[in-house]
Chains A and B, each alone.
Chain A
Amino acid sequence: MTSYRISRRRLLAGSGAFMTLPLLEALVSRRALADGTSDPRRLVMIHWPNGTVTRDNNLTWFSAPNGPLTAANAPVPLQPFTDNLSDITILKFLTQSARDATLRNGGGGHGGSKPCFFTGQVPSNLGTDASGITGDSFDVMYGKLTPNQRSIYLANSEQSNGDNVAYGYELSHKNGQKVTPEINPVSFFNTYFKNLTGTVTQPKTDYARNPKILDVPNAAATDLRAKLGKDDRVRLDAFLTSLGELKTNLAAPTTPVVTCSAPPLPAVDLGTTNQNGLRGKSYFDRMKAFNSLIAVGFQCDLFRSVAISFGAEGNYTTYDGVYPATLNYNGASLSVQYDHSVSHQSPISGEAGGYGFNPNMTRDRIHLSLVVDLINKLKAVTDPSGSKVLDNTIIMSGFCVDDGQHGSDGGTTKGSPVLVSGGKNFITPGRSLDASQYDLNDLYFTFSGLLGMGLANFHPIAQSSRPYGPLTGRTSGSTVIPL
C-alpha cells in the first residue's frame, strides 16, 4: 500500500529543495570561483572494453549508499584506493538507451555495441568495418570546439597477435568515420612532445581585456536599484553581489606561467617491444606512459580532449608479479587466466567460463588503478592559475558491452557502473550517486554544459522520436545530472 504520509511529505521536500538549491549552488560557486574558472577545461573518456564485474544480482560496484564515498562504505573495487575516494563519483544504474537499443537489434558484442558509447547513437552496422555512426563522437565534438580543434584517441591494445582491431577502433568517430587510435606511446611522444618548448600563460578573460563589459551592466543595475522598492532591491542586490564575485574571479591573473619542455621519452615502444612475452607488464607500462604524456599535454594545452580504450580480450596476459599486491582480492591468482578483464568469464565459479569472483574483481581493480594513475598524474600538475589540472578535467570511464558475463543481466545497462572523476572546480566528485533516472546521453549533455559546448541536447535523433515537443526526457540527452 502506498504511504500517503510519505507522499504528502514529498510536497514539503519539494518546498525545501526550492529553498536550498540556490544556497547549495552558491556554496559550490565560491569554491569554483576561488580556483579560477578561466583555466581550460579538459575531458578524458575511458572505455573498458571487457566491462567489469557487474550483474543484476551482485551489484558489487553499487554497494555504497547515496552520498560521499568513504573508506567505510567504499565498494570492493574501490577499497584499495582510499586516498582517491574524494576524486571519484560512481554513477549507479545509469541507462544507456542507445546501447540497449543496439542489443535489441541483435548486437551486443564488444565491437558491435561499442560505437554507441561515445556517440549515443544506435549503430546501423554492427560489423567490424563500419559502424554506421553519423557525425562525431562526444570526444571529437569537444575537441573541435577547443582552440587547436584537436582530439586524441589512444588505445592500450595491440592491433595484431590476438587483439581484434575493431575493439580499439570502434569508439571515437569523426564525421561518421572511425578514428584510428594511437597505440604506441613513443609514436605519441614523437607526434606531440618531442620538440615541446615554450610557456603557457593563463589567457586573459574577456573581462580582464575589457572591464567595461561588466562595468556597464554593473552601473545599470546600480541605477535601477535606486528606482525600485525594497523587494525589488533584494533581487538587484543579489545580482550585484554575484556580479562582483564574477568580476573578482575574472580579473587579470597574477599567477606565473607554466614552462613546458619535452618530457622523457617513454620506455614502452610498441614497435620494438615484444608484447607477447610480458604482456601484463607492458600493458601497465604502456598505459602509464600514456597517462604521463596526457598530463604534460594538458598542462601545456596541446589538447583538451582525450579518448582512451583500455585493452581488449585476446591478450593472453598474466598479471601475477606485475600488479601491486594491494590490488589483489581475496588471494586471487591471475597466472593462468587469459583475458585481462572479465570478458566471457563468469564471476561465479562453476558457471560456464567461470573463473571465479576473486580474479575478476582483481582485474577490475587493476584497470581502476590505471584510471587512478591518471588521476594522480593530473593532480600533480598545475594550471597557470595554480589550480590542479585534475580539478579542471572531467575523467569519465565506463563501458558498453553486454555479452559474456561482464554486463548486467537482462539486456539492459542498468548494472554497468560509470565513473566520473576530477573536475572539482565545477563538479563535486567523491560520491555514490543514484543515476537511475538519467541516461548516458544526459551525462554527455551535462558535460556539454560544464565544458561550455552549448549543445541544445545530445543525440537529437532520440528526441525527434517523441510525439510531442521539446519536453525534457530520459532519452533526449537534455537533462542535467547533478554531478
Chain B
Amino acid sequence: MRRLHLILAALVVTGCEGVITADRVGAGGTGGGTGSSARNCSTARGTPGHYTLRRLTNQEYTNTVQDLLFTRQAPGAAFQDSLAGGSGFKNDSKALSIYSTLVAKYYDTATVLAKEVITSKGTSGGAYSKLVTCDTAQSACAQQTVSALAKRALRRAVTASDLDATNGLMGVFTASGTFDQGLYDVIVSLLMHPEFLMIPVVDARSLDPAATFALDDYEVASRLSYFLWQSMPDAALLTAADQGTLHTPEVMRTQVLRMAADPRAVSLKNVLRDEFAELSFLAKTDLTQLGQTNALRDAMIGETDAFLADLLTNDRSPQLLLSSTQSFVNKTLADFYGLTFPTGANPNSFVPVTSTRVGLGSHAAVLTNTAGGSATFTNPIKRGHWIAKKLLCDEPPPPPPNIPPLPAVSQANATIRQRLDAHLNQPSCTGCHVTMDTLGLGAENFDSFGRWRVKYADQAPVDSTGLLPDGTAFADSTAMFTALANQTRAKSCVAQQVMKLALSRDLVGVDDLCTADAVSLVSVTDRSRFSDLLVQVVTTNQFLQQTGEAP
C-alpha cells in the first residue's frame, strides 16, 4: 500500500505528458504509450469516487443463498439476465436496476428456500441443523438463531433495532407461533431485506459530496468477498471485521491470499472468462451452423478456462494475460491448432503446450467470438473493438446514427484492408476506426475460428502488418500481440479491468486511472503474481474509501 502511494505520488509529481485519449493506437504512430503512462496525473488527488448502491447480480444471489442457507439450488439463473454495464462486468452498480418482477421473484424464491430449510429438519447435515444449533425448547434459542442468521445475511453486526421484538426480526419470529414457522418467516424476511439484496456503504458523511470516508470493516468484508467469490463474507472475514482489523494492509493481504486459494475463487475465474473475455455468448453459439462442431466450441472455451484457472490457481503473473505463449489444449483443440497432443495424456483434459499464440487475445475462443459470425470472413472491426476495449481499455464511443455501409467490393478495393481503408477516408469514421481497424487487421492471420493462416481462401496473401503508436511495426498477428504485451497502457489496462470488477463500477477521471497506472507498475510485471495485483487493488483508496453524495 505504501509502495503504491509512493508510485502514485511519483506519477503526480512527474506529470506524465499527454491526456487520456491522446495516444490512440494506430494514430499514425504519433501517440504516446512510450514506456510510462501517457496520462496526465498531475491533477490526481487520490479521491476514491462514489459507488452507487447496487443489488446482487444473479450469480451473486445464487452464490450467497448457497453459502447462507446451504442450498444447492441456483435460483439466480432463473431471474431476468442483466447485461454488463459500462465497466464491462455484470456487477457494475450502474447497470443493476431493481424492478417489480425481480422483487416478486425474490419473494417467491425466498419462500422456496425457506421451505427447503425447514423441510431439512431431522436430516443429518441438513441446512436446519446448521442454522439451529441450540435447543429450541430453550427460550434463548430463538434469538440466538435469528441473531446468528441475521449477521450472516446482512453481512454486519446485528443491532438491537434489527432484533426488536416488535418492529424487528424477533417481531417477525414471535408473530408466527412455532419455532419452525418463526424461522421460516425470518428467513423470508431476511431474504427480502435491502441489506441482503443490496450492498450499501453508509457513513455519517454519506450525504456530504465533499467528504471522503473509509468503509467500515464489514463493508470492506463484503467488497472483498463479492470481488473474489461473488458471494457473502465467510466467518473468517466477519470475525476480522468484528475485531476491527480488516482494513489494515497486513490483514488485507492475509485475507486476499486466503480467499484466492479458496475453492470459491473459481467464481473470479468464471467472471474473467464470461465477462472479461466475453465468452458467455460463444457458449450459446451453435458452431455446427458454421460448419464446425460444438465439441470444438467447448474445447475453445475450455482453453481459456484452463488458462485462467492456471493463472489464478498457480498465482502466476497477471502479465500473462497479455504475453503467455502457452496454449491449453485438449486433443480436439490440439488437432485444430495443428499442435501435437502429448502422448499418453487424457484427450479430454487441457494440457499446456508451447505455441506461437500470444496472450488471451489470440485464444481461439476470443477470435471466434469476435469474428462476426461468418465461417468465411472475419470482422476486423469487431476484433479490433474487443482488443481496444479489453486489452487497451480504449473503448471507442458508440457509433453515430446513419453509418454508411462499407464500400462495395470492387477491383479498386477487393481485400478487406482496402475496403476498410476506403471507409477510413470518410472523416466521420476515422476517429474511432483508425484504432479498431489497425488492431483488427493486425489479427487477420487468424481465420474465423482462430486458425493461423497466411493466405485467404482465394489464395490472396494475408496482410496483417501495422504500426503501433509507439512506432513499433509489426509484421504479423503474433508480432502485434507480442508488441501489445509490452505496451504500458496494456499493462495498466489489466489493472483497470481488475479494478472495475473490484469496485463494481467503471473507472472515471484521473484519480481512478492514475491509481490503476500505479497499481500496474507494481503488480503487472513479469515477476509479479496475480495475488500481488489483487492485494494492490484492494488496498487502494478506491477500494477502501468512498466519496459522499449530494443529498
Q: How far is the CA of A26 from the CA of B103 in the complex (A)?
A: 10
Residues 174-196 of chain B: 1 if any A CB is under 8 Å from the residue's CB, otherwise 0?
01100000001100110011110
> Is the pair A230, B53 in contact by a Cβ cutoff of 8 Å?
no
Tell me the smallest distance from the CB of B10 to a CB of chain A, in Å: 34
Given contacts A4-B381, A37-B104, whether A229 and B399 have CB atoms under 8 Å apart is no
> Is the pair B207, A480 in contact by a Cβ cutoff of 8 Å?
no
Query: Which residues of B lie under 8 Å from residue A245 when comparing CB positions?
Result: 100, 103-104
Query: At the interface with chain A, which of B41-49, B77-85, B131-139?
Result: B77-85
Given contacts A456-B72, A467-B348, A472-B280, whether A236 and B100 have CB atoms under 8 Å apart is no
Q: How far is the CA of A26 from the CA of B105 in the complex (A)?
A: 12
A 38-64 contacts with B by CB, 8 A = none
Instruction: Say yes or no for A276: interface residue by CB 8 A criterion.
Output: no
Tell me the smallest distance from the CB of B546 to a CB of chain A, in Å: 11
Given contacts A229-B550, A238-B97, A437-B286, whether A11 and B301 have CB atoms under 8 Å apart is no
Instruction: Say yes or no for B548: interface residue by CB 8 A criterion.
Output: yes
B 364-413 contacts with A by CB, 8 A = 372-374, 377-379, 381-382, 385, 398-399, 403-406, 409
> Is the pair B101, A26 in contact by a Cβ cutoff of 8 Å?
yes
Q: How far is the CA of A21 from the CA of B195 in the complex (A)?
A: 25
Among candidates B111, B194, B209, residue contacting A221 with C-beta atoms closer than 8 Å: B194
> Is the pair B53, A228 in contact by a Cβ cutoff of 8 Å?
yes
Residues 223-238 of chain A: 1 if any B CB is under 8 Å from the residue's CB, otherwise 0?
0100111111001101
Query: Which residues of A lie under 8 Å from residue B197 when comparing CB positions?
Result: 239
Among candidates B103, B111, B306, residue contacting A239 with C-beta atoms closer than 8 Å: B103
> Is the pair B103, A243 in contact by a Cβ cutoff of 8 Å?
yes
Q: How far is the CA of A478 from the CA of B330 in the complex (A)?
A: 25
Residues 326-359 of chain B: 1 if any A CB is under 8 Å from the residue's CB, otherwise 0?
0000100000000000000000101000000000
Query: Which residues of B lie under 8 Å from residue A210 when comparing CB positions?
Result: 172, 175-176, 185
Among candidates B72, B99, B193, B550, residue contacting A220 with C-beta atoms closer than 8 Å: B193
B 448-492 contacts with A by CB, 8 A = none
Among candidates B72, B194, B284, B294, residue contacting A217 with C-beta atoms closer than 8 Å: B194
Interface size grouping (class) on chain B? 35 or more
Given contacts A230-B550, A469-B270, whether A455 and B100 have CB atoms under 8 Å apart is no
Query: Which residues of B lie under 8 Å from residue A471 when comparing CB positions?
Result: 270, 273-274, 279-280, 283, 301
Residue among A37, A470, A471 having the largest count of chain B Cβ atoms under 10 Å:
A471
Query: Which residues of A lie under 8 Å from residue B99 when comparing CB positions?
Result: 22-23, 25-26, 29, 238, 242
Between-chain CB contacts (< 8 Å), 14 pairs:
A25-B102, A30-B100, A212-B167, A213-B192, A216-B171, A217-B192, A229-B209, A235-B53, A239-B194, A250-B107, A454-B116, A468-B301, A469-B270, A472-B284
B interface with A by C-beta (< 8 Å): 50, 52-55, 72-75, 77-78, 80-83, 95, 97-104, 107-109, 111-113, 116, 167-169, 171-172, 175-176, 184-185, 188-189, 192-195, 197-198, 200, 202, 206-207, 209, 266, 269-270, 273-274, 279-280, 283-284, 286, 294, 298-299, 301-302, 305-306, 330, 348, 350, 372-374, 377-379, 381-382, 385, 398-399, 403-406, 409, 548-551
A interface with B by C-beta (< 8 Å): 1-5, 7-9, 11-12, 14-15, 17-18, 21-23, 25-26, 28-30, 32-33, 37, 206-207, 210, 212-217, 219-221, 224, 227-232, 235-236, 238-239, 241-243, 245-246, 249-250, 436-437, 445-446, 448-449, 452, 454-457, 466-474, 478-480
